[in-house]
């Protein structure tokens, strides 16, 4: 499937991380997703009901970011992928979770984990 919808930079304040300080203070997380789905009907009909409402996808991602804390970015990405697959008519999803304020004692720009899951 070559059709896709991309959302980038969905942000929220969460308490994910292994360190106690991360769980206590929290930090900003950003998520990018690519949804692979058939957009042919939507393109022909110009009908929102024939596509994926990306506002709904963004709300679901934000809810997960600010929700129950997890230790690993890998787990957060997995939960987001499962949420999307279980709630939207997609074939495949790619999820990238960014943690730009990760506790690394050296200069860096970003830490991210990316996963791809199929229905």
24 is catalytic: no
Judged by DSSP in three states, 21 sits in helix
Nearest one of 23, 16, 3 to 98, comparing CA atoms: 16
Candidate list 44, 50, 63, 99, residue with the active-site label = 99
Residues paired with residue 14 on neighbouring β-strands, in sequence order:
27
Q: Rounded to the nearest 5°, which phi and psi values hold at 87? A: -115, -10
**Distance of alpha carbon 40 from alpha carbon 50, whole angstroms:** 9
* Side-by-side strand order, sheet with 27-36: 4-14, 27-36, 92-98, 112-118
- Please list the active-site residues: 99
């Amino acid at each position: 499937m070559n059709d896709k919808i991309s959302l980038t930079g969905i942000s929220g304040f969460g308490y994910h991380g292994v360190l106690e300080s991360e769980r206590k203070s929290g930090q900003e997380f950003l998520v990018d997703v690519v949804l692979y789905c058939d957009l042919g009907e939507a393109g022909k009909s110009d009908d929102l009901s024939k596509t994926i409402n990306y506002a709904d996808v963004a709300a679901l991602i934000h809810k997960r970011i600010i929700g129950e804390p997890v230790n690993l970015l890998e787990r957060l990405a997995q939960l987001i992928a499962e949420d999307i697959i279980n709630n939207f008519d997609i074939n495949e999803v790619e999820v990238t979770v960014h943690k730009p304020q990760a506790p690394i004692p050296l200069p860096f720009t970003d830490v991210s984990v990316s996963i791809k899951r199929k229905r």
